[in-house]
Amino acid sequence: MTLYDMSPKAIIESLPLSEPVLLILLSLAGQPQHGYSILKDVERMSDGRVVLSTGTLYGALRRLLDDDWIERFEEEETSRGRQAYRLTPQGRRNLQGEIDRMKNLTRLATLRVATKES
């Protein structure tokens, strides 16, 4: 089943995303990236806390491709073995959904902690 067949409720149920997957999607949010640049970007974004192995990265990319969150991006000048990926509109929408979910959670947490302190 692709996300195109999923109801908004089902999409919400696929959240929250794991941190590596979220970082991979964030890495692709700006521009199409190759596998190696995704690895480096994820490491940079997480300040070296999340270091993905190639096996883990391609496992995640495979799932995201299967679910139509990302797609292969054909470049004019691509050397052998370098394939770029980019977010699909559906993937971008879901990423935005996850960001909104996190924002709400953070706002709620801040409110609760502030109430407790006062």
Amino acid at residue number 65:
L
Residue 9 contacts another protein per CB under 8 A: no
Nearest to 26 by CA among 48, 18, 56, 118: 18
Q: CB of 55: closest distance to another protein in angstroms?
A: 3
48: its two tokens: 């070296």
Taking the least distance from each CB to another protein, the nearer of 35 and 97 is 35
Closest CB 39 distance from another protein, rounded Å:
7
35 binds another protein (CB under 8 A): yes
Cβ(61)–Cβ(28) below 8 Å: no
The reply on whether position 49 binds another protein by CB under 8 A is no
Among residues 82, 103, 107, 112, which is the contact residue for another protein, using CB under 8 A? 82
In the set 22, 23, 28, 39, which binds another protein (CB under 8 A)? 39
| Contacts to another protein from residues 51-70, by CB under 8 A | 51-59, 61-62
Tokens standing for 19?
A: 């941190």
Best CA proximity match to 10, nearest among 72, 57, 67:
67
Bridge partners of 72? 85
